Chain A
Amino acid sequence: MKPFEYVAAGSLAEAVSHLDSAGPAARPLAGGTDLLPQMRYFRAHPPLVVDVKRIPELRQLSCVGEGLHIGAAVPLADIAAHPDVTRLYPAIAYSCSLVGSVQIRSRATLGGNLCNAAPSADTVPGLICLGAHAVVTGPAGRREIPVEEFNTDPGKTVLGTGELLVEVVVPPPPDRSAVSYLRFTPRQEMDIAVTGVASLLKFSEGGMVYQARIVMAAVGPTHLRARRAEGVLEGQRPTAELVSRAAEEAAGECQPISDVRASADYRRHLVGVLAGRTLLKSAEAQGIRV
């Protein structure tokens, strides 16, 4: 590890001014579970590290009328245990509870998971399904970006120099809808998703699929929507046959690579399996047996 400057910012303005004046190589620090290994082993050498955990806006976790506000520096353990989250957004609670281990979840944040921009990040697919947006502040002021558009490539986000994620806002879940996320790892815990798939199904009163969202993890440069698969489902009555057609379509839409963790073929196959299973799970959560 190379020497670096460390500051703990007490306010948004302070954080932005530090990051802005140090230039693009400066890095915010939340739980550090991605950043510190990168600095130790993968030759990331930020000259300045700005700890954002003391900024009040980043520590808020609240569920008010217009949705769920998750401060960027709230530990995943707190999110997974929050009664409103477990009640209204069980898929988010679940995906937060998958990350790492008890120790990791007590440090790691949802903001860090998003800003690290790993295509395997577990909390992101559910957020995209629910249409969450990111609230960002920076030298040019505040802006909002859909989570779906936040990451642009592995390790790359839309954030500009001096910009900081403040919170993620998740709208209230639509009526008659359910979200579920499944990931595949060879090891139960302390592992990285070989593939993950989240789905949202919203049903019409008559039990037809009104809206479908399918988001795939670790099978492309960023999380990917399986839009053709969504199209297969929308407007249809959910049947086992329809679900497996959609799953197959999703497998065709992913863009996996082969690496030390899995071959592209196997990842594509897993997308089909997980898409099928998560769709059934989402349907079941709405009491619809396929």
Chain B
Amino acid sequence: MSSRFIGERLARVDAPDRVTGRAVYAADISLSGMLHGRVLRSPHAHAYIKKIDATRALALEGVKAVVTAADFPALKKGGVIARGEVELNLDHIRQVALAHGKVLYHGHAVAAVAATDPHIAEDALELIEVEYEPLLAVLDPEEAMKEDAPLVHPEQRTRTRDGTLDRPSNIAATYNVSRGDVEEGFQVADVVVEHTFRTRTVHQGYLEPMAAVARADPGGRITVWASTQGNFSLRSQLASVLELNSSQVKVVPVEIGGGFGGKLNSVLELPAVLLARRTGRPVKLVMSREEVLRATYPAPATAITVKAGATADGRLTAVKMRAVFDAGAFPIAPVVAAYLTSLAPYKIPHICLEGYEVVTNHPKIGALRAPGAPQGAFAVEGQMDLLAEKLDIDSLELRRRNATQEGEPMPVGRAFNRIGLQPLLERVAAHPSWTTPLKGPHRGRGLAVAFWPGAVMPSSCNLTLQDDGSFSLVVGSVDLTGTRTTMLQVAAQELGVHPSKISVSVGDTDSVGHTEVSGGSRITYTMSNAVNQACTRMLGLLRERAAAELEVDPQELEYDTGIFSSRVSQDKRLTLTDLGRQSLRRGGPVTATGAVARMQPAPAFSAHVVDVEVDMETGQVKLLNYTAFQDVGRAVNPTQVEGQIQGGAVQGIGWALMEGYQFSESGVLQNANLLDYKTPTATDVPFIDTVILEIPASDGPYGIRGVGETPIIPPLPALANAIHNATGVRIRELPMNPEALFHAMQGRGG
């Protein structure tokens, strides 16, 4: 069948509702009798909760309930849910939802109140009396690693490759991974560089603050509307913590206003359910922006030291990485991902990682678009430029000489299947963004390369032929990025009908099979496989029906654009409309499912080139040109692919130049608003030009690769490299905001 809809720039099916304000988000849900909740948050970064007394709050007119961690079922230690490649620790999820015995960061949820209106709930917070016994806050990961440091979790022991250590420590885990022998590699190197690169905690910056509405039926069933990246993952989290069957929890899809990895774990849903159960009425909880910044799941601060060696002719010989990740209040940080992704672009004989995942009294970290990779690349791609400079080799040329290819081992795990890094670098080398000389004072050009392996997780869909021959496709995946539209294109392609004959919607957790989170750049890759499967099955079923109706052999029928017709006799034909009508009389309605669990990963590379101009007196960086190259395998919808690349680049630019949590010495976030936690606006970034390469992935339909995460990675090092090129100053700490750059240029930092 010809490629009619794959590769088309179809307009997003959700766009009209979103831009006209008709789209329904969790905070828009309003149920009859609904109460409004607010969360009481800790004024300390670290303290024992001695006592919580809600008597005065409960006496306030309009207040219906106050809940605390004591309202959860008794805690069973060690419960985890496997969620794709990451494990979710139930204990941590419920402790983030409501602090248990101890508050672990400023803003940590302590109690939640439900009242007849949000203002009463707000007032009630002041009437809940909490007695704290403040403890020394553990804020600096490097300090926290010392033996005599105060402990965030006194019972925590360090997990290592060789088992668990004996003594309590803030180091939740160490990672020792290697290939070859780096010392040997450094011995044969002609040049060795070693520096430490630091990044701060940053937030995903999704537009829609977290929100949840919960209803608890007397029979025990729970229904939740939530701003989440995974309806099924949320269901698993709620069912496990509340000790219910998965089928007793229903998560109803609503539109989501961005997630970027920050909406994978539950935050508000558990308190909302507890309040709903207690009051017998639906309860809505909505966060303010301040709460979002203080008490959700930002991305980790890191300190990454990279020692790298190369021969005089520019061959990398060894890279050693020491990485310290601030995991915040609970373990799990993407330490290995930083190593894997940042070294993946290069053939390096000897590599090793010494990684530390450290808990502190900061909010628990979560995923942010390619978790760990931007921080790793900031260090490695910075060192690549330094090596190029020391070796007097062009920075693109150095990367070309070392670029990896199919069959080479990845830094961790298998060998690469088909990848497009080398052709991508050739494209850069020939492109005007790289070949046009840069003119003018204080201008510089920077390049960086990035890799993201992409995730594979279960996906399901149901496809139904309706009575009039149109189709309904129900997918289990939350649509963050326009995936309903791409799945519409896949279905139209495979069914051979116009997209207007197919409606696509996100199903609730009762109506479609388990589909894991929308994350890991994987929905288009894996769900297209499921949809493809459902379409094939559907056409198979319809062929049978048509053959029976026409009384011919199924093999005699050919199918084209909605019509089954006999190859033998011209007058024997049935349209989808005929089959839809007929299905109600005989055989019954036709539904086909598609479901996928495992596929090979579809790894993706990108390279960004940026030109900047630096105001030498103020340190202000102006972006002049920006070009993002990416191998996307196959662009099902080029407009959406470009949007992902541009959005990722802008987010990375913000991380590089503006964003960063500023904590006080007692662990209080000082910039908990979007004026002081700065993200770029449209006026701060130039047009992001995109260059799309299509080198088909080894597995899956159409050659698709994951697209969404890779583009956030290169801006951090590309901008550092460009600033260095413009000023001669190398910044190794983010954000590279005007004041930081100014001080570095004065020789006082950097």
Binding site for B on A (CB under 8 A): 1-3, 41, 184, 186-192, 260-263, 266, 269-270, 273
CA distance A41 to B680 in the complex (A): 23
Q: A263: which B residues are within 8 A, CB to CB?
A: 739
Contact of B680 (CB < 8 Å), options: A1, A187, A266 = A187
Stretch among B195-203, B250-258, B592-600, B671-679 lining the A interface: B671-679
What are 13 pairs between A and B in contact, CB < 8 Å?
A: A2-B119, A41-B673, A187-B680, A187-B683, A188-B681, A189-B683, A190-B675, A191-B675, A192-B675, A260-B670, A262-B739, A263-B739, A270-B618
Tell me if B678 and A266 are in contact (CB < 8 A): no
Tell me if B737 and A41 are in contact (CB < 8 A): no
A269 (CB) vs chain B CBs: closest residue = B742
Q: A186: which B residues are within 8 A, CB to CB?
A: 620, 658, 678, 737-738
Q: A266: which B residues are within 8 A, CB to CB?
A: 739, 742-743
Q: B743: which A residues are within 8 A, CB to CB?
A: 266
Q: A187: which B residues are within 8 A, CB to CB?
A: 658, 678, 680-681, 683-684
Q: How many B residues face the partner with a CB closer than 8 A? A: 23
Confirm or deny: B662 has a beta carbon within 8 angstroms of a beta carbon on chain A. yes
CA distance A80 to B618 in the complex (A): 27
Confirm or deny: B617 has a beta carbon within 8 angstroms of a beta carbon on chain A. yes
Give min CB distance, A119 to chain B, whole Å: 15
Tell me if B676 and A260 are in contact (CB < 8 A): yes
Q: B739: which A residues are within 8 A, CB to CB?
A: 262-263, 266
Q: A260: which B residues are within 8 A, CB to CB?
A: 662, 670-671, 676
Q: B742: which A residues are within 8 A, CB to CB?
A: 266, 269
Binding site for A on B (CB under 8 A): 119, 288, 290, 617-618, 620, 658, 662, 670-671, 673, 675-676, 678, 680-681, 683-684, 737-739, 742-743
Give min CB distance, B52 to chain A, whole Å: 23
Interface centre among A187, A190, A266 (most CB of B within 10 A): A187
Tell me whether chain B's interface is mostly helix, strand or loop, or mixed: loop
A-B contact count (CB 8 A): 44
Interface centre among B671, B683, B739 (most CB of A within 10 A): B739
Q: A190: which B residues are within 8 A, CB to CB?
A: 675, 681
CA distance A192 to B678 in the complex (A): 11
Tell me if B617 and A41 are in contact (CB < 8 A): no
Give min CB distance, A39 to chain B, whole Å: 12
Tell me if A189 and B737 are in contact (CB < 8 A): no
Q: B618: which A residues are within 8 A, CB to CB?
A: 184, 270, 273
CA distance A186 to B288 in the complex (A): 24
CA distance A263 to B662 in the complex (A): 13
Q: B680: which A residues are within 8 A, CB to CB?
A: 187
Give min CB distance, A34 to chain B, whole Å: 12
Q: A262: which B residues are within 8 A, CB to CB?
A: 739
Give min CB distance, B102 to chain A, whole Å: 28
A2 (CB) vs chain B CBs: closest residue = B119
CA distance A184 to B617 in the complex (A): 12
| Additional A-B contacts beyond A186-B737, A189-B683, A260-B670 (20; CB < 8 A) | A184-B618, A184-B620, A186-B738, A187-B678, A187-B683, A188-B681, A188-B683, A189-B681, A190-B681, A191-B675, A191-B678, A260-B662, A261-B676, A262-B739, A263-B739, A266-B739, A266-B742, A266-B743, A269-B742, A273-B618
Tell me if B678 and A1 are in contact (CB < 8 A): no
Contact of A273 (CB < 8 Å), options: B119, B617, B675 = B617
A267 (CB) vs chain B CBs: closest residue = B739
Give min CB distance, A277 to chain B, whole Å: 8
B290 (CB) vs chain A CBs: closest residue = A41
CA distance A3 to B119 in the complex (A): 9
CA distance A195 to B656 in the complex (A): 23
CA distance A78 to B492 in the complex (A): 51
